[in-house]
Amino acid sequence: MMEPQASLRVLELYSGIGGMHYALKESCIAAEVVAAVDINTVANEVYKHNFPNTYLCAKTIEGMALDDFNKLEFDMILMSPPCQPFTRIGSQKDVLDPRTKSFLYILEILPRLSKTPKYILLENVKGFETSVASDKLIQTLESCRYTYQAFLLSPTLLGVPNSRLRYFLLAKLQPDTFCFQTSHQILKHFPDHDDADLRSRDGSSFNQMLSTDSNKKEQNKSEYCAENGKSQVNLLYKLETSEHQKQKQIQDNNLSIQLIQDFLEEGLQNPSLYFIPPKSLLRYALILDIVGQTCRRSVCFTKGYGHYVEGTGSVLKTASDVELSEVFQSFQALSEDEKLNQLSKLKLRYFTPREIANLHGFPSEFSFPEKTSLRQRYRLLGNSLNIHVVAKLIRLMVE
């Protein structure tokens, strides 16, 4: 059991819309965010809207002096530095990218703080682990005497039907140790450990999920979902490999993952706002990642979602009685008008920002200020993180 202790003082760097802050709340650790730092004005408006009582520092991190940091007397740093310098499809300029400057500054500051924080959690994209920036981080942690553990984790591990593989690093100041065995390997799963409280909590939610009646009934439906089973003979009507398709089927049939429908908004106010425009439909029909309400998967939502179509996230088939295979059969031979006619049967729409927030684990009290545009909402959510994954990591780090 955790001993009752004084509230930990947490510094939230690159705070965005406060994903880390929500994760900290969800972790149930006695803690408070003593300062959040971000330069993005739109993100900051959303942060203030949801956390009006948190001190939000709207300036660059490298603009903060050592003394500013010292005054905050924090015990924990939660941070998600910009990931563009490390993305596999990006420029991979790594430490030469100006967007890495603030992170290198943090590494410089860390050994000079009057009180070294006891805990550090970092989130970034897959690809960070092979960067020079990561090497520098590890060097700094070792010289400051931290124990640490790296992870590559996706929310699917917690039964969430959304892939979002991210790099995480937990660091704890020695002589304290983690409640699990650390390793120099990057862990691809949450570690086993001794905490009975945590185990029963996760175990029971999984078992509950597995044993609900609705889930049993869905078993047949989910065969329909990915057009697995019966229509498998029609395969590869879309531009995807059979390997890819098999992977989708496995996910859709995995009953330890929740249904997409559990994350959807009921009675959507203005659905036409989200329907995919005909032009995009025609142009991208064969590469859209389409999921139905009874699927158990979706691909990672990125900041261009709702605007750029290619590779930015799944779209939702709202016509539950129409199968993909019906629409895509001999699709190539059709005229444009016929194609559009066929595609419109699927009633495809984008997931709404609220639905993406649900998949990311944002609590229902999270909201956007009214003036935040749709495009800004998608962009901010695409930059954010899965709260359940981080909450679990925070608990692992502190216990």
Ligand X SMILES: *[C@@H]1O[C@H](CO)[C@@H](O)[C@H](O)[C@H]1NC(C)=O
Ligand Y SMILES: C[S@@+](CC[C@H](N)C(=O)[O-])C[C@H]1O[C@@H](n2cnc3c(N)ncnc32)[C@H](O)[C@@H]1O
Among 14, 237, 351, 366, binds ligand Y (CB under 6 A): 14
**Residue 256 binds which of ligand Y, ligand X, none (CB < 5-8 A, kind-dependent):** ligand X
211 binding ligand X? (CB under 6 A): no
Alpha carbon distance 271, 276 (integer Å): 11
251: part of which helix (H) or strand (E)? helix 242-252
- Pick the stretch among 80-88, 134-142, 152-160, 332-340 that binds ligand Y (CB under 6 A): 80-88
Neighbours of 71 (CB within 10 A): 12
**Residue 43 binds which of ligand X, ligand Y, none (CB < 5-8 A, kind-dependent):** ligand Y
Question: Which parts of 12-125 fold into alpha helices (H)?
Answer: 19-27, 41-50, 66-72, 101-109
Nearer to ligand X, 250 or 287 (CB): 250
Residue 179: active-site member = no
Considering only residues 120 through 179, tell me which ones interact with ligand X, judged by CB under 6 A: 156-157
Considering only CA atoms, which of 79, 77, 44, 48 is closest in space to residue 58?
44
String of contacts with ligand Y for each residue 45-74, x by CB under 6 A: ---------------xxx------------
**Residue 250 binds which of ligand Y, ligand X, none (CB < 5-8 A, kind-dependent):** ligand X
Q: How far is the CB of 97 from ligand Y (least distance, A)?
A: 11
- Most distant CA atoms of the chain, gap in Å: 70
Q: How far is the CB of 193 from ligand X (least distance, A)?
A: 17
Q: How many residues bind ligand X (CB under 6 A)?
A: 10
76 binding ligand Y? (CB under 6 A): no
Residue 108 CB partners (closer than 8 Å, separation 6+): none
Sheet with 119-125, edge to edge strand ranges: 56-57, 31-37, 8-13, 76-79, 119-125, 166-173, 146-153
Taking the alpha carbons at both ends of the chain, their separation in whole angstroms is 8
DSSP label of 300:
P
Considering only CA atoms, which of 8, 11, 15, 34 is closest in space to residue 385?
15
Nearer to ligand X, 90 or 191 (CB): 191
String of contacts with ligand X for each residue 215-254, x by CB under 6 A: -xx-xx-----------------------------x---x
String of contacts with ligand Y for each residue 93-132, x by CB under 6 A: ---------x------------------------------
Among 10, 20, 56, 77, binds ligand Y (CB under 6 A): 20
**Residue 254 binds which of ligand Y, ligand X, none (CB < 5-8 A, kind-dependent):** ligand X
Residue 353 burial (10 A CB sphere; 0-12, 13-18, 19+): buried
Neighbours of 151 (CB within 10 A): 20
Q: How far is the CB of 102 from ligand X (least distance, A)?
A: 34
Alpha carbon distance 138, 150 (integer Å): 10
Which residues of this protein are in contact with ligand X, per CB under 6 A?
156-157, 216-217, 219-220, 250, 254, 256-257
Q: Which residues are catalytic?
A: 83
